[in-house]
Amino acid sequence: MNPYGYVVAENTDGIITVNGHSYRDPKMHSKNTNFALLVSSKFTEPFHEPLKYGKRIASFSNMLGGGVLVQRFGDLVKGRRTNEKRMLKSFTKPTLSATPGDLSLVLPKRHLDDIIEMIYALDKIAPGMANADTLLYGVEVKFYSARLELDSNLETKVANMFAVGDGAGITRGLSQASASGVWAARVIGARACGQKN
């Protein structure tokens, strides 16, 4: 989460993806806040190339927009492309020069559904989040493969030792890290109360 921040482009193995940052110096502050909505994917047999899959998705935005795509949330839910004209009318001004486009041509349905659902959920606690002029840039990708060996309770091979969040290599985002903590805490709580899990 980057208050007063800027969306920036980065190069992930030759593919242009997005990230964000903000400056400490107040003179460098923008009027926007940016953060990433990350959707985790878990693949099943026989697929073994998740990194390649992630890179392929990211490369679609480059193919369509020559780099990073940006879309107004209102256009995404209406099922239409953001074009230069609509972008010029947008109340939120982009902090990264990106091609106005259609992220539904880039992201798989489930990822897109999850992102839209999350934006509406966030709107309840941060009203305005689901504004038509909220800008979505695509895509940010996080690859991570080094992780501890854990069971479905997030318990390590050492009994009663649990691992959660980024340090355990199981998450790379805020909501997933928080949820993994809640999950392990519930298991620990149930054990403390003598319940089986």
C-alpha distances in angstroms, 25 versus 28, 30, 58, 172? 6, 11, 32, 27
Shortest Cβ distance from residue 13 to ligand FAD (Å)?
A: 20
Of 180, 191, 187, 173, the closest CA to residue 38 belongs to 173
> Counting contacts by CB under 6 A, is residue 114 touching ligand FAD?
no
Answer yes or no whether residue 165 interacts with ligand FAD by CB under 6 A. Answer: yes
Placement of tokens 């318990």 in the chain: 155
190 contacts ligand FAD (rule: CB under 6 A): no
Q: Of the candidates 7, 15, 16, 36, which one interacts with ligand FAD according to CB under 6 A?
A: 36
User: Of residues 12, 35, 169, 183, which one binds ligand FAD by CB under 6 A?
Assistant: 35
- Residue 30, judged by CB atoms within 10 A of its CB (0-12, 13-18, 19+), counts as middle
> Whose CA is closest to 81, among 64, 67, 95, 57?
64
Q: Which is nearer to ligand FAD, 81 or 138 (CB)?
A: 138
Secondary structure percentages of the chain, helix, strand, coil, to 5? 35, 15, 50
Query: Is the CB of 50 or the CB of 105 nearer to ligand FAD?
Result: 50
Nearest residue (CB) to ligand FAD, 77 versus 122: 122
For residue 183, state whether it binds ligand FAD (rule: CB under 6 A). no
Residues that bind ligand FAD (CB under 6 A): 1, 35-36, 38, 165-167, 171-174, 177
